Copies of this chain bind each other. A is one copy, B any other.
């Protein structure tokens, strides 16, 4: 039934249905829609559950079986001809930032589903099963850290640590996950880290490079390294009108100058370093009271392990140098070295793009993805497609239907090829 792999590959790729793929993006975009073009569908909220139910309904309509692991990672399986073979897995996430877009994560889920559907419609058997995966809490917006589900799956994060994590309102992952699983009943349970033959994730680039260089397909060579820091500055509240500046311990002034100093530290003429202060909170946050306390986060990324180490190791010293009488606590909350993807998978992506005459280029992923954790378990790769002006984590995030279809066709080629090896 498997026949000539090249034929199967071509038939699946040809059966990819661009209109279905696009309509499904629109359908998912309605779940958690903000009314301003974007979505707020943070991890393990009712919106996340509703999106999972929609994907499960599409899977059920094809008779694909679903299973779930203990952190809520959701799997949808199309069986292969070899019952003993490990699956080829593809997918991404359905959760979003608080003001997220309609393609980040969702595209990888719907592209993988489209490949399963296309194989079914094309009546193409594969030796290995093809599985779609939806990873829990990739964004890390509501519950830190990011890529929680894949981290637990891969053994990089203990399950209990993840389950005990609380959001800003004190709700734990344990409680929110129980609600989500109750709202998306799946009987079959999956263990963590089961054998996977290969993992390929499709995603919008979330950066401007493919669009700017006229490329349709990004062959992702790896993921840049990431270090997160949480900086707490404790000064002393005082009256804004009476306390001479020389006698103040102003937590905001100290924090402002820390960020200013960190910008100098990370200044890079090649514009490769990614430095972001995304969270910045002031207490008591009253116009005429000198702030007594500031909390801010640092997100630092670089593809070169040594540069990332050198810059990250200086963060605490730069902050302390601007303490200005305040107490300073710097905690590294996340550290993720750069990841290199499988040369075999990269070659398959390049070959597929060439066969379809799609312009492609190698690219380093600026964002972290679940694929990072899979790279330690099996041959892993990622396929990027362009998004408008590189805007992502933003309600105006946009991708062209033709680019999404192109990415799904390349993904189909690669998955079928891997599933017949």
Contacts and interface: CB of A to CB of B under 8 A. Distances in A.
Contacts of A366: 239, 241-243
A64 interface: no
Given A271-B245, A275-B245, A297 B289 contact: no
Contact of A241 (B224, B238, B243, B281): B224
A301 interface: yes
B289 A240 contact: no
Contacts of A394: 236-239, 289, 292
B391 A238 contact: yes
B238 A392 contact: yes
A368 interface: yes
Interface string A8-41: 0000000000000000000000000000000000
A192 interface: no
A280 B208 CA distance: 30
Given A236-B394, A246-B271, A271-B244, A140 B280 contact: no
A144 interface: yes
B260 A208 contact: no
A325 interface: no
Nearest to A277: B252
A322 B348 CA distance: 47
A314 to B, nearest CB: 18
Most buried by B among A224, A241, A274: A241
A275 to B, nearest CB: 7
Interface string A354-370: 00000000000111100
Interface of A: 97-99, 104, 139-141, 144, 146, 205-208, 224, 226, 228, 236-247, 250, 252-253, 256-257, 259-260, 263, 268, 271, 273-292, 297, 299, 301, 365-368, 390-395
Closest 7 CB pairs of A and B: A242-B366, A207-B242, A240-B276, A241-B367, A237-B394, A287-B297, A206-B242
25 contacts: A98-B284, A99-B292, A104-B239, A140-B287, A141-B289, A207-B239, A207-B242, A226-B241, A239-B367, A240-B276, A240-B278, A240-B301, A241-B367, A242-B367, A243-B390, A243-B392, A244-B274, A252-B259, A252-B280, A253-B277, A256-B260, A281-B285, A287-B297, A288-B299, A292-B394
